[in-house]
Structures are given as structure tokens and as C-alpha cells.
Amino acid sequence: MAMRASAEDYLETILLLSRKTGSVRSIDIVEKMGFSRPSVSVAMKKLREDGFVRMDEDGYITLTPKGGETAARVYDRHSTLYDWLVGLGVSEPAAAADACRMEHILSEESFAAIKRSLEEGE
């Protein structure tokens, strides 16, 4: 069963925040994503139950190996699609928004073709 786009977005956000600051708490996710505290709390509970994140006694959130792998895959799709769209002449804001939507719905076959075309163009 495919993971929901919102769960992928949370994992990607945790990955990027952890790379930027080294530690992630729920409030950081609230501020970055613009969601309410209760919404983030519910999402973190579900991601913990599904084995994608851990939360320590101080409230710090880390990705499990399973969560890290998923987050890295989503981020790779996002950044590749963003680069592809910008390369086609799409504005950076539109490319960022479109890449965020496309990363969740594009088939592996189509994504692989886009990635190959970018690599061949270098």
C-alpha cells in the first residue's frame, strides 16, 4: 500500500530540519509546515506507530532507518523534479510547488526517465 503524501511530506520535513539544525521537535515541524500543534502531534503518533520515527523522552524526533530511507527517496524525487522544471524554464516558486505535488504521484518509470534525461544532459 502506498504511503499518504502528507506522511511523506512530514518525513521529508524531518529529514531537512535534521540536516539543517541537527535536532527536530514537533514545534519545529509546526513552524516549518504551518500546521497546528494537534495535527502534527497526531501525525507524529501515526509515524511512530508505523515505525518511521522515534521520539525520545525530551521530545526530539529522529527518523528510523525505514523513515530515513523513505524521506531520502521523497527528497530525491522532489529535488530532481524541481531541477528538471527549473531547467525547462519554470519559475523557482512554481517549480517548488509543482515538484512537491509531482513527487507523490509520478510513477517510478516516469521518474527514472526524467532522472536519466537530466543525468545525460550533464
> 46-92 pLDDT, tens per residue?
999 999 999 999 999 999 999 999 999 999 999 999 999 999 999 99
Residue 1 has pLDDT above 70, yes or no: no
Across-strand partners of 49?
none
Question: What would the mean pLDDT of 106-111 be, rounded to a whole number?
Answer: 94
Whole-model pTM: value is 0.86
Q: Tell me: do 77 and 38 sit in the same domain.
A: no
Question: What would the mean pLDDT of 97-111 be, rounded to a whole number?
Answer: 93
Count: domains in the chain: 2
Q: Tell me: do 59 and 27 sit in the same domain.
A: yes
CATH code for the domain of 33: 1.10.10.10
Q: Tell me: do 112 and 82 sit in the same domain.
A: yes
Q: Of the residues 15, 39, 64, which one is the last residue of a structural domain?
A: 64
**Do the Cβ atoms of 29 and 14 come closer than 8 Å?**
yes
Count, residues in the chain:
122
Q: Give per-residue pLDDT as tens, 8-59.
A: 999 999 999 999 998 999 999 999 999 999 999 999 999 999 999 999 999 9
Please tell me the predicted confidence (pLDDT) of residue 121: 75
Q: Tell me: do 21 and 47 sit in the same domain.
A: yes
Q: Tell me: do 12 and 52 sit in the same domain.
A: yes
| Containing structural domain, residue 109 | 70-121
Q: Of the residues 31, 64, 97, which one is the last residue of a structural domain?
A: 64
Report the candidate in 95, 101, 91, 73 with the shortest Cα–Cα distance to residue 82: 95
CATH code for the domain of 83: 1.10.60.10
Task: Name the residue type at position 81.
Answer: L
Q: Tell me: do 58 and 103 sit in the same domain.
A: no
